């Protein structure tokens, strides 16, 4: 036998050393490269939040929770196609159930590689068509910034070839137990997450599984020990020469129960998963308590003859590295479990109508796609978000002429929608009027006015007592004498509205005297033509005779000469005076109202405002001037605008510029004559946007006029009674429950598209931009100087009209 020389041994040693070092370096390099690749892949994840509507509809169909959960198996089987073998391992995705450190709703998240995101969305939506799949630009946060964290993971108790107990063998939805463990967390300062990082399982596991099935069928015993217990048992077998599967005499006995479990495991696609639990709280023991609560919810998956989950706490020295892998959603071979799609479905699935778990974040209202053929021009009112697609929604000029009705509770987004529309109208050079019962909206709008439209602004604020603007409802255009009848009728409706609580106060006698008094005053405007003169006709016989002498209306003259002045008893004129004048005194004695209503010449020329595309902003803050006064002024302005619109009959329709009238809380500034506006104003290019909070605010004639004439309806969140009433406008796409639960700054829209009513769909309202406060203040002052009059001049003018006695 030839022995190697020393030199040969030396070179052999050197060669082996170089080989080991090179191999070690290569392995180290590959490990670092793999880690870098994993981080790169995690940074390319797209995070989705998945929410589903929870309704009781499926209960009516006697569908079991198992039937509903089984859909998730199809989801996982379909996702198996996403995974492809790569040199550094297969791609992964993450399933998460998390409660952020601030909040009380537990949400479902899925993170997938960006290149597969579209495929994921379509696949999920095909199985869950009512789900909202929303990309999250930022990750959620479960960590208390000044607190502590705890973490753990799961291993299997037995041979990984054996399955855990699945939902098919449970009496209740396993998600309920897991989700309920999150409900004990505090609303702030505590957070937790269940994370499952999923990869396609290597094919060698399936080979082992098939071999195990073969082994059990041959009557051999399946090895169930794991870890060191398995190693020690193999050592004993080597020493004693005995084995569990040693050949035995007699018939083959097959363990049918184990065989059934193995066959069940092999019947579905298998995944390699890391199941992690992470929690955060103010103190370490609190965080650990949360983890233990979450871990205990996995006891339900224990299978007596199969497998069960064993919780492993992460040691403090390993916590940083573990949280790193959690944050980047990095798969780890250490602690990886092999679960098939049914087992994975049991551990993580989306909720159903039968899931009885509180504080799960659910989709409270449905979404629907925007219709085809939407206009590409017009005012942008929001965007339709459906299955990840964002479609801008524009409202065309022609469709706006059929008016828009907006309803929603306080704070849901009505004002924001109007504000955005108004801002665009101003920037586009449109003419408009905004009547605001609070004042905040018009103040914000003033800040939007660009420099080139400063001269178009007319800001009416009755609370400005130093330079009040005049508003005389009795003023009319002599070229249109028929306006007198409109004024009287509208003024009667205004007083009926203001005194609706005491309708008996406005009976036939009041109407007769009021109508004849008002018409007599307007017969000769030069001798006085305001609400004050109506009162004087009733109380001052000398003034009344002056008016009669200048009147050319024989019917009115006959009433005063032959009826009013000759009546006796309770119908005597002296008895009628306080009955009539008491309705005016409320306003004529008011410090805010008197300087406005008693100016004979209105500061605002409404026809000029309309034709000249001015920006009329009316601040009727009820907190400043009182609700009744605000309502009267609003009613007068709406009536004036309607008269101005109807007077456009003297110009061709194609020459009438569009004018947009925005009425917030419109029930306070409209009378039943709104039916005339809604049905006829279109031809005069007066387009209305009507907003309020609930249908109960409308009297029947106005309610019928609105729903019978408006072309487009935007419904924000509303109450139960309104939802029931409006459901017929939106079904079958949306039901009452959707109208009750839609989130703030979202609305359902039934809109005209090219003159045709489109199917309802949802829109998200864009946030209102903040204007310039400095511009707003300067425009207020400029408007007061241009259109207001010093209070001293007004008082002198009014005093001069009083009789000297």
In this predicted structure, what is the pLDDT of residue 353?
75
User: What's the gap between Cα 430 and its chain centre?
Assistant: 29
Q: How far is CA 316 from CA 150, 296, 672, in A?
A: 8, 21, 74
Residue 226 scores a pLDDT above 80: no
| Mean pLDDT score, 79-91 | 61
What values do phi and psi take at 327, rounded to 5? Answer: -65, -40
What does the alpha-carbon distance between residue 179 and residue 104 come to, in Å, rounded to a whole number? 12
Residue 227 scores a pLDDT above 70: no
In this predicted structure, what is the pLDDT of residue 328?
95
Which range has the top average pLDDT, 300-304, 331-335, 792-796?
A: 300-304
Residue 394 scores a pLDDT above 70: yes
What does the alpha-carbon distance between residue 555 and residue 559 come to, in Å, rounded to a whole number? 6
| Mean pLDDT score, 27-51 | 69
What's the token pair of residue 292?
A: 């233990």
Considering only CA atoms, which of 713, 732, 735, 710 is closest in space to residue 724?
735
| Mean pLDDT score, 502-509 | 77
Neighbours of 334 (CB within 10 A): 8
| Mean pLDDT score, 403-432 | 97
| Mean pLDDT score, 423-435 | 98
pLDDT, one tens digit per residue, over 645-699 is: 999 999 999 899 999 999 999 999 998 888 888 888 788 999 999 999 999 999 9
pLDDT, one tens digit per residue, over 541-590 is: 999 999 999 999 999 999 999 888 887 766 678 888 888 888 888 888 88
Neighbours of 257 (CB within 10 A): 12
Query: If pLDDT is split at 50, 70 and 90, which confidence band does 24 have?
Result: low
In this predicted structure, what is the pLDDT of residue 87?
40
In this predicted structure, what is the pLDDT of residue 800?
78
Considering only CA atoms, which of 153, 445, 415, 178 is closest in space to residue 309?
153
E strands, 670-774, where?
686-692, 712-715, 746-750, 752-753, 756-757, 761-764
In this predicted structure, what is the pLDDT of residue 423?
98
Residue 532 scores a pLDDT above 60: yes
For residue 194, what are the β-bridge partners?
Answer: 97, 277
Task: Indicate the range of 28-32, 84-88, 373-377, 754-758 predicted with least confidence.
Answer: 84-88
Using CB atoms within 10 Å of the CB of residue 656, give its burial: 0 to 12 exposed, 13 to 18 middle, 19+ buried.
Answer: middle
In this predicted structure, what is the pLDDT of residue 90?
61
Average predicted confidence (pLDDT) for the chain: 88
| Mean pLDDT score, 41-69 | 77
pLDDT higher at 798 or 714: 714
In this predicted structure, what is the pLDDT of residue 317?
95
In this predicted structure, what is the pLDDT of residue 35?
55
The answer for residues whose C-beta is within 8 angstroms of residue 192's C-beta and 6 or more apart is 98, 99, 142, 182, 185, 277, 278, 279, 280, 290, 291, 294
| Mean pLDDT score, 776-783 | 96
| Mean pLDDT score, 21-42 | 58
Neighbours of 514 (CB within 10 A): 20
pLDDT higher at 622 or 213: 622
Query: If pLDDT is split at 50, 70 and 90, which confidence band does 235 have?
Result: very low
CA dihedral 706, 710, 715, 720 (to 10 degrees): 30
Under 8 Å between Cβ of 79 and 93: yes
Residue 164 scores a pLDDT above 70: yes
Query: If pLDDT is split at 50, 70 and 90, which confidence band does 231 have?
Result: very low
| Block residue for tokens 């939040």 | 49
pLDDT higher at 260 or 521: 521
- Domain spans in the chain, listed from the N-terminal domain onward: 31-201+270-347, 472-588
CATH architecture assignment, domain 31-201+270-347: 3-Layer(aba) Sandwich (3.40)
What does the alpha-carbon distance between residue 556 and residue 741 come to, in Å, rounded to a whole number? 58
Percent with pLDDT over 70 in the chain: 88
| Mean pLDDT score, 454-472 | 95
In this predicted structure, what is the pLDDT of residue 4?
56
What does the alpha-carbon distance between residue 268 and residue 313 come to, in Å, rounded to a whole number? 30
In this predicted structure, what is the pLDDT of residue 259?
84
What does the alpha-carbon distance between residue 537 and residue 565 come to, in Å, rounded to a whole number? 12
Quote the pTM value. Answer: 0.80
Query: If pLDDT is split at 50, 70 and 90, which confidence band does 7 have?
Result: low
Task: Indicate the range of 192-206, 427-441, 512-526 predicted with least confidence.
Answer: 192-206
């Amino acid at each position: 036998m030839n022995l190697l020389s020393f030199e040969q041994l030396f070179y052999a040693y050197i060669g082996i050393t170089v080989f080991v070092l090179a191999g070690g370096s290569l392995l180290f390099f590959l490990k670092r490269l793999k880690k870098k690749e994993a981080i790169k892949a995690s940074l390319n994840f797209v995070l989705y939040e998945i929410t589903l509507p929870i309704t009781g509809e499926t209960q009516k169909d006697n569908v079991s929770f198992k039937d509903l959960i089984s859909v998730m198996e199809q989801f996982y089987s379909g996702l198996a196609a996403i995974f492809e073998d790569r040199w550094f391992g297969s791609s992964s995705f993450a399933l998460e159930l998390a409660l952020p450190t601030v909040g009380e709703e537990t949400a479902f998240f899925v993170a997938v590689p960006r290149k597969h995101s579209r495929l994921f969305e379509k696949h999920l939506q095909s199985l869950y068509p009512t789900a909202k799949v929303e990309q999250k630009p930022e990750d959620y946060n479960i960590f208390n910034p000044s607190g502590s964290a705890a973490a753990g993971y799961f291993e299997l108790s037995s041979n990984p070839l054996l399955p855990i107990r699945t939902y098919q063998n449970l009496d209740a939805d396993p998600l309920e137990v897991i989700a309920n463990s999150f409900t004990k967390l505090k609303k702030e300062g505590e957070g937790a997450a269940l994370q499952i990082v999923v990869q396609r399982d290597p094919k060698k596991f399936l080979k082992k599984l098939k071999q195990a099935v073969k082994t059990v069928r041959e009557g051999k015993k399946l090895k169930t020990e794991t870890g060191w217990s398995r190693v020690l048992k193999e050592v004993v077998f080597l020493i004693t020469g005995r084995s569990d599967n040693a050949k035995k005499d007699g018939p083959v006995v097959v363990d049918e129960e184990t065989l059934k479990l193995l066959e069940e495991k092999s019947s579905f696609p298998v995944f390699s998963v890391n199941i992690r639990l992470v929690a955060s709280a103010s103190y370490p023991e609190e965080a650990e308590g949360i983890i233990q609560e979450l871990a205990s919810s996995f006891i339900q998956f224990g299978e007596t003859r199969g497998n069960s989950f064993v919780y492993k706490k992460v040691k403090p020295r390993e916590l940083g590295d573990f949280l790193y892998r959690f944050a980047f959603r990095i798969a780890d071979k250490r602690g990886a479990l092999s679960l098939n799609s049914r087992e994975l479905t049991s551990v993580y699935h989306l909720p159903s109508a039968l899931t009885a778990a509180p504080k799960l974040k659910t989709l409270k209202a449905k979404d629907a796609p925007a219709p085809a053929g939407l206009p590409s021009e017009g005012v942008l009112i929001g965007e339709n978000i459906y299955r990840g697609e964002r479609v801008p929604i524009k409202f065309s000029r022609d469709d706006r002429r059929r008016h828009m009705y907006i309803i929603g509770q306080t704070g849901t987004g009505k004002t924001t929608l109007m504000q955005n529309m108004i801002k665009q109208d101003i920037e586009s050079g449109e003419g408009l009027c905004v009547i605001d019962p609070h004042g905040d909206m018009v103040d914000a709008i003033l800040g939007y006015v660009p420099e080139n439209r400063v001269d178009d602004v007319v800001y009416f604020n009755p609370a400005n007592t130093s330079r009040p603007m005049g508003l005389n409802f009795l003023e009319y255009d002599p070229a249109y004498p028929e306006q007198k009848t409109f004024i009287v009728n509208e003024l009667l409706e205004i007083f009926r509205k203001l005194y609706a609580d005491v309708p008996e106060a406005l009976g036939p006698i009041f109407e007769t005297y009021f109508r004849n008094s008002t018409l007599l005053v307007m017969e000769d405007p030069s001798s006085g033509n305001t609400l004050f003169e109506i009162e004087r006709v009733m109380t001052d016989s000398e003034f009344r005779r002056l008016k009669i002498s200048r009147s050319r209306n024989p019917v009115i003259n006959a009433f005063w000469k032959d009826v009013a002045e000759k009546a006796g008893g309770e119908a005597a004129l002296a008895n009628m005076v306080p009955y009539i004048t008491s309705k005016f005194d409320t306003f004529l004695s008011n410090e805010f109202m008197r300087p406005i209503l008693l100016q004979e010449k209105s500061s605002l020329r409404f026809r000029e405002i309309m034709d000249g595309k001015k920006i009329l902003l009316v601040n009727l803050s009820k907190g400043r001037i009182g609700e009744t006064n605000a309502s009267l002024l609003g009613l007068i302005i709406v009536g004036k605008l309607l008269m101005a619109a109807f007077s456009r009959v003297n110009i061709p329709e194609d020459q009438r510029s569009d004018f947009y009238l925005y009425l917030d809380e419109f029930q306070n500034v409209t009378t039943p004559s709104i039916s005339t506006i809604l049905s006829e104003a279109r031809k005069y290019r007066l387009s209305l946007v009507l907003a309020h909070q609930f249908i109960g605010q409308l009297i029947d004639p106005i309610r019928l006029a609105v729903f019978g004439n408006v072309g487009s309806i935007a419904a924000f969140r509303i109450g139960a009674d309104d939802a029931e009433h409006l459901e017929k406008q939106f079904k079958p796409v949306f039901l009452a429950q959707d109208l009750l639960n839609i989130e703030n700054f979202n609305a359902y829209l039934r809109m005209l598209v090219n003159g045709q009513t489109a199917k309802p769909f949802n829109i998200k309202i864009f946030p209102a931009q903040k204007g310039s406060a400095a511009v707003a203040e300067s425009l207020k002052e400029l408007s007061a100087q241009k259109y207001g009059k010093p209070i001293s001049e007004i008082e002198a003018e009014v005093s001069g009209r009083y009789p000297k006695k």
